[in-house]
Amino acid sequence: MSRLTSVACLLALANLALLGGCGEPQFSDAEKKTIASLALNTLPSLKSDTTNQYADAPAAAALGSTLFFDVGMSRDGTVSCSTCHKIDRQFQDDLPQAVGVSHTNRRTMPLAGVARNPWFFWDGRRDSLWAQALTPLENPLEQAGNRAAFSHYIKKRFGERYERIFGPLPDLSAVPASASPLGTDAEKAVWNGMTAAQQDDVNRVFANIGKAIAAFERSIEPQQTRFDRFAIDLATGAAAQGDAVFSPEEILGLKLFVGKANCVSCHNGPRFTDNAFHNTGVPPVDGLPPDRGRVDAVAQVQADPFNCLGKFRDGDESACRELRSMVKDGPQITRAYKTPSLRGAADRPPYMHAGQFSTLDEVVAHYSKAPPSVEGVSEVHPLDLSDRERAALVAFLKTLSD
């Protein structure tokens, strides 16, 4: 009897060995390596921004935080950065297109990890976080202000705080109340009537507003999720515990994400983005102005006086390699948009650069079908995923929000 028991045990062990060792393993070594590269613990510490000498100054971040939430930083005193970048909503607004002073044509981007971007906005029309922060301030659809008015406002409301960080404010007594090279026709005319020294003074204060807001935004970083706990356990070989255990559907979704569905080609690294621009055939939205993505942003970032090569940059030009080596033309940048991070995406519909898709199911269905682009060439190819596979991908994406 005891021999029979030992034979049975041996058979059971052999079965286990076959299933566990020689059968299909949960993940191949290559898959494990890719999964490990997506985990948040591989995110390097935030690099300094030499173009903004105040980037890591606590007083600048504190002033930036005040300005970020201050509706006084707009034409009519009703809109702040936080109107669209809502602090309790991953710094986005849940709308298909942002609404500031008026209705815009793009989806608000969330801010977790924003300081790690080489390019800003969906089309990369700005090349630093501080230059980005200035743009909505003067966009007539967003905060709709003008830089002369902002300079006066800073002097009146925050003069002492400003001067403790950036040094003495310029003499603004002769600067008109409203003027900007990007404003209304009247504001442009007034701007053109200002002396070069006055324009420079105003631009300097304006640039420092952006640098303070950027200093604040650097503190907004992605948080650990269920996926990260799962990935760490997978990498270390530890037995997953509690919510780090993935369901078979989530495992299938992860395998598809790093495998057959090719998501990881662009959504790579611990932020799930390659920081690059791609045409993925996302359709335009009826009623919105023509939108060609990256191809139209190239000239804008080159013309921006606050770009890395401009005189308001701190530090030296060695920080400007991204701008110097950007792709300026060619078919691949038409209707190309920045790969968004997928961290937290499940909790912030709608999706794409103008909120084209209202659910993750629609997003995954789009990539599975891969329709051609209305202009330029889509980089994605049909996947023909089954219903079960599409649902599994969505289940996996949700683990980046839990």
Partner 1 sequence: MASIWRYILAGLGLAALLLGIVAAVYLTLPPSASGPDLSRSKKTANGLFVASFEPEHGVVRQGELQSWLLTLKTAAGAPVEGAAITVSGGMPQHDHGLPTSPQATDYLGEGRYRIDGVKFTMSGWWQLHFSISAAAGSDSVVFNIVL
Nearer to partner 1, 3 or 388 (CB): 3
Residue 242 region by backbone torsions, left for phi larger than 0, else alpha for psi between -120 and 50, else beta = left
Q: Which helix (H) or strand (E) holds 278?
A: strand 277-278
d(CA 208, CA 32): 45
Residue number with CB closer to partner 1 (10 or 87) = 10
Question: Closer CB to partner 1, residue 252 or residue 319?
Answer: 319
Residues in contact with partner 1, counted by CB under 8 A, come to a total of 27
The structure tokens listed for 250 are: 């989530």
Regarding 302 and contact with partner 1 (CB under 8 A), the answer is: no
Which of 276, 285, 309, 391 touches partner 1 by CB under 8 A? 276
Q: Which CB sits closer to partner 1, 2 or 241?
A: 2
Q: Does 7 bind partner 1 (CB under 8 A)?
A: yes
Residue 214 sits in the site that holds partner 1 (CB under 8 A): no
Buried b (16+ CB within 10 A) or exposed e, 202-215: bbbbbbbbbbbbbb
**Site stretch for partner 1 (CB under 8 A), options 146-154, 199-207, 225-233, 269-277:** 269-277
Residue pair 125/300 in contact (Cβ under 8 Å)? The answer is yes
Residue 5 binding partner 1, by CB under 8 A: no
Considering only 82-90, 100-108, 134-142, 326-334, which stretch makes contact with partner 1 by CB under 8 A?
326-334
> Which of 68-76, 193-201, 325-333, 365-373 is the region at the interface with partner 1 (rule: CB under 8 A)?
325-333
CA–CA distance, 169 with 151 (Å, rounded to integer): 9
Residue 379 as a binder of partner 1 (CB under 8 A): the answer is yes
Sole binder of partner 1 in the list 26, 195, 265, 386 (CB under 8 A): 265
Q: Is 275 in the site for partner 1 (CB under 8 A)?
A: yes
> Hunting for tokens 């070989």 — which residue is that?
237
HEC readout, 63-118: HHHHHHCCCCCCCCCCCCHHHHCEHHHCCECCCCCCECCCECCCCCCCCCCHHHCC
> In the structure encoding, which two tokens stand for residue 46, read together?
């935030």
3-state class (DSSP) for residue 32: helix
The footprint of partner 1 (CB under 8 A) covers: 3-4, 7, 10-11, 14, 34, 118, 265-266, 268-269, 274-277, 321-322, 324-328, 330, 332, 377, 379
